[in-house]
Amino acid sequence: MPVDVADLVVAARDGDRHAFDELVRATYVETYTLAYRLTGNEEDARDVVQEAYLRAYKGLKRFRGDAQFSTWMYRITANCASTFLGRRQRNRCEELTEDLSTRDERPAASPEVQAEATALRERLQVALRALPPKLRAVVILRDVYDLPHEAIAAELGISESAAKVRLHRARKKLRDDLFARPSEEQAHAV
Amino acid sequence: MRCEQLTGSLSDAADGSVLLDGPSRAHVEHCLRCQAELAQYRKLLRALRALRTEVLVPAPGLLPEILLHLEQAGERRAIRSILTGRRVAYLGGIAAATAAGAAGAIVLASRSRRRMSLAG
């Protein structure tokens, strides 16, 4: 039976600890996915997820329910990841575990379309990991999770214009990495 | 218009957040390079949006870890609130005792003053 997240939020806000546990159960994989994409490694993602749920638990009374619970969790996770990465102040992309399993929840397409999409997705994952964490955070929150500029700016502790500049830089870098012109590819090959 | 002047606008145009003005649109309609760039941004944005539906499966043990972390935090909170309650009661007791002592001292002082004035 599907879990009604809105009902769980109401119950948890009224102090039902079991309801909050159910909320965690219903949303932790999604939250972990975002944390992993933002931090770039499994160990940090686990820490960020734990901290994010703790903050959510403490701040649940402030959640008015005008956004979805998952969106609220994205914002908290982004904030935790930002704090975490700020503390680390170094890119740990080299520690990425390559064997992390993924689950694609989209409906199946034709084999050719699927193969092309898989190839592009793999190149995109590599390009995302290669981005500096600050650029990666903005492009993931905006273009993958569809968060508004002002929310991204607020959670990352930057101005809205800085968020936009970072987004442009991230997109340009990704585009360059994914669609390098033939002349550039040849130059790399030489 | 030169292609360089459109740098930045094309990625915004690709996600629909910005509409290109007349001269920019006219340039893109005739410039293969800008058309290709716009198409690449659109493809990139589609690929990024598709990542939304893809979830990474965490190693087993993360869920119990989160729940345990929350439980421990809840216990710490409860202990803190009990200690805070006791501290409040303790400080309240001290305050009450101090007030009672002060009141007693005032009463004694006024009585001794009355006795002295009667004797004198």
- Per the CB < 8 A criterion, the answer to whether A61 and A2 are in contact is no
Average pLDDT over residues B48-76: 88
Token pair in block for residue B96: 């009450």
Asked if A34 and A78 touch (Cβ cutoff 8 Å), the reply is yes
Mean predicted confidence (pLDDT) in A110-121: 79
Work out the pLDDT band at A98, boundaries 50, 70, 90: very low
Between the two ends of chain A, the Cα-to-Cα distance in Å is 58
Q: Does A105 touch chain B (CB under 8 A)?
A: yes
B30/A contact by beta carbon, under 8 A: no
Give the span between the Cα atoms of B115 and B44, in whole angstroms. 97
Q: In this structure, are residues A54 and B71 in contact, taking their beta carbons and an 8 Å threshold? A: no
How does the average pLDDT of chain A come out, rounded?
Answer: 83
Place of tokens 């002295």: B116
- For the question of whether the overall pTM of this predicted structure is more than 0.80, the answer is no
pLDDT tens per residue across span A64-83 = 777 788 889 999 999 999 88
Q: Is A116 on the interface with B (CB under 8 A)?
A: no
Is pLDDT of B64 > 60?
yes
Kindly tell me the burial class for residue A63, based on how many C-beta atoms sit within 10 Å of its own C-beta (0-12, 13-18, 19 or more). Answer: middle
CB A159 within 8 A of CB A138: no
Does A144 contact B51 at a Cβ distance shorter than 8 Å?
yes
Question: pLDDT confidence of A90, banded at 50, 70, 90?
Answer: low
* pLDDT, greater one: A178 or A112: A178
Output the CA–CA distances (angstroms, integers) from residue A154 to A22, A35, A104, A174, in the order listed: 28, 17, 30, 24
- Alpha-carbon distance of A126 to A131, in angstroms, equals 9
Inter-chain touch B58–A103, beta carbons under 8 Å: no
Query: A84 to chain B nearest CA, in Å?
Result: 17
